[in-house]
Amino acid sequence: MRMPRFYFPDALALGARVHLPKDAAHHAARVLRMAEGDVVSLFNGDGQAYRAKIVRLDKQDVVVMIEQRAAASSESPLHTTLVQGISSGERMDFTLQKSVELGISAIQPIQAERSVVKLTAERKEKRLRHWQNIVAAACEQCGRNVVPEVMPSLTLTDWLGTQVSEETLKIHLSPDAELGLRTLEKPNRPVVLAVGPEGGFSPHEHAALHQCGFVAVQLGPRILRTETAALAALAAMQVCWGDF
């Protein structure tokens, strides 16, 4: 049976005794019904996996001792940043969760012109924490030991204003594009994939992306929902250029 995995956000060291985070402790004690002497795997985003033994357990607290550390990479050779137009409710959560499983390296939420969700400054902070938790939980499930960063949300204009590097392959999805992924050469550099929210990017946003060097790509003759489009593109890129 697969060893339970938990995300631990702080530094880990051999021989150290640490308290599992509250949610992880609850899951270990109440859901998995683990006992003293059982082993778990911890990761904190540094690329290592830490084998730990439970040395104390009750309903409120689980203490483990770090016994072993090993490099255990499950990262894709394709370094991809997803620039995702913020979609509503569970759609955005689903997109982030599954993009982690598909090997995404970083996520940049974009407040697009057609985004249904309009976030205040306070809600942006709450959403950012929520999305980062979604990403960490997805890493627990899929076996990744590197946690992709979810960056603070920006408007597309503001984000494009920060893009000065030409050392990336920049792609944005458009159902009207003439090119498909298979027409592009395998990149030997990082990839930036831009996907619009419900309703896609506006004509103004498409023009801004084009001016910043983005190549418009389509995913066949059918119109895909925003959460489908992002994940279909990531899966196709892993097949064409990655580790599928």
**Over the stretch 102-118, which tens digit does the pLDDT of each residue have?**
999 999 999 999 998 88
pLDDT of 1 above 80 = no
Judged by phi (left if over 0) then psi (alpha if -120 to 50, else beta), residue 196 lies in beta
> From CA 180, how far away is CA 182, in angstroms rounded?
5
pLDDT tens digits for range 164-182: 667 899 999 999 999 999 9
pLDDT of 91 above 90 = yes
pLDDT tens digits for range 110-154: 999 999 888 888 889 999 999 999 999 999 999 999 999 999 999
pLDDT tens digits for range 53-67: 999 998 789 999 999
pLDDT (0 to 100) of residue 163: 74
For the stretch 158-197, what's the b/e string if a residue is b when 16 or more beta carbons lie within 10 angstroms of its beta carbon?
Answer: ebbeeeeeeebbbbbbbeeeeeebeebeebeebbbbbbbb
Global pTM value: 0.92
pLDDT of 86 above 80 = yes
Please list, in sequence order, all residues whose beta carbon lies within 8 angstroms of the beta carbon of residue 222, skipping any fewer than 6 positions away.
Answer: none
pLDDT (0 to 100) of residue 192: 97
> From CA 202, how far away is CA 223, in angstroms rounded?
15
pLDDT (0 to 100) of residue 208: 94
Percentage with pLDDT > 70 across the chain? 99
pLDDT (0 to 100) of residue 127: 94
pLDDT (0 to 100) of residue 164: 60
pLDDT (0 to 100) of residue 56: 95
Q: Are strands 62-71 and 17-19 parallel, antiparallel or unpaired?
A: antiparallel
Domains (range + CATH), the chain:
5-71 (2.40.240.20), 80-241 (3.40.1280.10)
pLDDT tens digits for range 222-239: 999 999 999 999 999 999
